[in-house]
A and B are shown apart, each in its own frame.
Chain A
Amino acid sequence: MHQVEIATTQETLLDSPEMVLNMGPQHPSTHGVLRVILKLDGETVIDLDCDIGYLHRGMEKIAENRMYTMIAPYWDRLDYIAAVSNGLVWVETVEQMMNLAVPPRAHYLRTILTEFNRIASHLLWLATHALDIGAVTVLLWALREREEILKIFERQFGARLTCHAWRVGGMPNDAYDDFEADVRQFVNNFPKRLDEYETVLSENRIWLSRTVGIGVISAEEAIAIGLSGPALRGSGVPWDIRKARPYAAYADMDFDLPLGENGDTYDRYLVRMEEMRQSRRIIDQALDKLPDGPVNAKLPKIVKPPVGDYYHSIEGPKGEIGCYLVSDGTAQPWRVRVRPPSFINLQALKQMCVGHLVADVVAIIGTLDIVLGEIDR
């Protein structure tokens, strides 16, 4: 017989049912089309599930039907905030499979421009992260600086966001005439502006109370999940592909890794802010050491890497961007697989959010710095 359970004690009578809140995919602060299904007790998150795939474009499958040189523009659309870094991982993977000797000037320019892209990406992260926590003015200040970088990109690559920056074997063309002057100007102005942002946020009581102790992830957990980039360094793990396995001209560069202690949102904020300073330092050095010479290696008519597979990764703004490439010796890859940093960093979301409030979920999504184009591919 069906037994009806009658609530007798006061606790069960007062027990409020949990609410399922569907955050996204059109929510203003899930940074694109991420759908987060929150199970709430009042405003406290007790469980959380991510639903992704709204921006799936089948990049990896498309790549199987394109020639090696034709794939690079698709790669710019993975993480559209960091198109330059994404382009680099593809061309470097192909180059290394083919054992191409890229001229040093190209390496140095690649270093400068990917570091610019890192700053641009971090600035956009700062803008949106601050906006999520409610500091609206930082958004427009950060975008103002990013605009300077985008202007350099536009003059160099002909596009602002999805710049098809590199070619297999080097660069499409040498740096434009005023490149050095533009870069110098940015490098000189930037620290002042960064200090401005830090005055608004770093010591701000509200900012501190919204970020300190929020979304804590320990070093062990971070490694277990596979976090990379600032999210990993915020937990105090000294791991950076630029140091561990230098690519482009990073072996000649002198820079430090900023490391957090507690792995909370505030640490990751400080790490990214400091990373922008270090990027500026790298740009400064690379520009001083910029060698002369050609920017392109000699390339066969059709790019055909030898049969085999290869994995190469670089330190993108959001973490380790990897590219696993299987070649069957033809003009098209047999299989391509991307290791998107955002996708793997997003796994930490549940661990970071459970027990916090709805407002913190927004802050944590911001601190993970995800880009849905990269997650869904």
Chain B
Amino acid sequence: MKLPAPKVARWIDDRLGASQFARTALNKIFPDHWSFMVGEIAMYAFAVLVLTGIYLTFFFEASTREVVYNGVYAPLRGQTMSAAYRSGLDLSFQVRAGLVMRQVHHWAALVFIGAIIVHLCRVFFTGAFRRPREINWIVGVTLLLLAIANGFFGYSLLDDLLSGTGLRVAYSIALSIPIGGEWLAFLFFGGEFPASATIPRFFVLHVMILPALIIGLLSAHLAILWHQKHTQFPGPGRTERNIEGSRLWPTYAIKSVGLFLLVAAVLTALGGLAQINPIWLYGPFKPATVSAGSQPDWYVGWLDGALRLMPPWEIRAFGHTVPNPFFPGVLLPGLTSGGLYAWPFLEPRFTKDRGPHNLLNRPRDVPVRTAIGAAALAFYTLLFLAGGNDILAVQFHVAPESITNTFRVLVIVLPVIVFLVTRKLCRDLRRGDSHPMQRPVGSRVRRTATGGYDEVDPDGQAPAVPDRDRA
């Protein structure tokens, strides 16, 4: 036995009997496909978030107490601001390595949610959510929603002018909920906006409650994945009953640790070299002030775009109002998350396919699903772009009104076109294509004795399948 500390290992095994489990774990097989790394990128970005976040809590003061700034950043000296905003400035300018930690944390949040969404697309377009993996799809969608919420809470803490604007919009959206909206907004934000209780409360949510939920659900996500094993793409020798890939120990573990380090490398380099959320330029939050070009972090952009595109309609009847922001701010995200949760149960209703699947679809193999996914991506991308309609207006020298009106049409029309085009493309590809993953394509070439080259008849030869180590 060449374990690093055989005595320690034996001591643990005597008490836990862990050898059997540990051996199975070391021999566990993980498929080698790049698209399976995206979820890992999300997980590793989360690890960076936790590590940098713990560091930041040692310096951040979650308080709206009014103070006068007297720090090193000259343009704001003498200004009245909240203690939260001042601690953000001090962290950025006076704590050595503080700004890097703050910026790495912010970049990690942006990458975390981005990687979750790409991972979700991978799982959706390849049908990895199908039986038996519906439960893990639900866990994953919940993780996405928690990640978005926690990102929003996080950048709302600094009490700068931009985050104050975001809080105000969130408060008004809560207020718009029929029947209980006023109570909900007052209880959640601690009173009428701007309430001094909001930031300390969001701090607890941001650093304790939501991270605890995310860690719990992430653990469940991994445990279920571990138990059910990965899906795999179809290929020679791959069936519904087996799995092909690298063993966890050593190949996969070393590669995966390498991936973590590369994620950390990109995030730290971004945190040092690419400025993000420069709160000192926005200034402290003041209720009567707002700047043009107020865009939220990217993952909230689609909601802001929906608020901007919504025509001026609302329902007023029987002495009550269902205000305009309810539709883009509550109904749309409700339908979006509801649709995501329901998808693994909706699809079998139409396809009648309720059997278990361990082999993945290629997107073209399921034209309608792929077309619906592409149309949805077009819809949310347009909403995201509409969230920058003022920026687009300035950049292209067009009136913001015409940009908004154009988007109002596009957001309806373009997803339909994308659906039809994608479905046709998938069907044509499926028809015209020889399915390279299910049988080898190309041909073998043989050098003859005279120095010429012959093509070997592919049907006359055994296909080139790598030697396998039957585990």
Pair from one complex: no
Which A positions have Cβ atoms within 8 angstroms of B? none
Residues of B that sit less than 8 Å from A by CB: none
